[in-house]
Amino acid sequence: MRKRTYQYRDQSLAATFAGIIRDNDWEQKYDQYRVFAKWRGLVDADTAKHARPCKVVKDVLWLEVDNSAWMQQLQFSKVALLDALNEFLRVSYFSDIRFLVKNGPDRESGDKKKPPLRTPPSAAEIERFEKQVAFIEDDTVREALTRYWYVSRTVRGNR
């Protein structure tokens, strides 16, 4: 078993989170999943409206798009989008971007009623949560808590 590099007592919440992430070798995955919370700020408004990140598998970002027309549009701008996202990342990268059509047919069963892989919170929910944590003075802690809430809320919608 690996020895912890951080002692968690008597430290700020931000330092504790950083230590846990580092001790479990989650830094690259954490860095990649920051894109989920910051998506609307990383891409233009039209792209954010019609495409959402839904998962990361082996450094490949999967985007859920509204329809095949948006899939085609994003395919044309995939290289620029990939460059912009990789520029945002600190310690990791995306090797590729792939697309899923929202509620598209399942290739194996032909089921067209399959729910989306992830359901991100609405803009109103995000705004409401940001108001709830606005009292936290430390920007790093507030941002980490918001990212954690966003990811947990996105995944919870699929249970």
Q: At what angle do helices 68-76 and 78-88 cross, to 10 degrees?
A: 70
Domain positions in the chain are 16-156
In the numeric block, the tokens 């069963």 are attached to 109
Q: Which CATH superfamily is domain 16-156 in?
A: DnaA, N-terminal domain (3.30.300.180)
Q: What is the pLDDT along the chain (159 residues), one digit of tens a residue?
A: 455 555 555 567 777 777 777 777 778 888 888 888 889 999 999 998 999 998 888 889 999 999 999 999 999 999 999 999 999 988 888 999 999 998 755 444 445 555 555 677 888 888 888 888 888 888 888 888 888 888 777 765 544
CA–chain centroid gap for 32, Å, is 7
Burial 61-73 (b: 16+ CB within 10 A, else e): bbbbbeeeebbeb
Q: Which two tokens stand for residue 5?
A: 């590099």
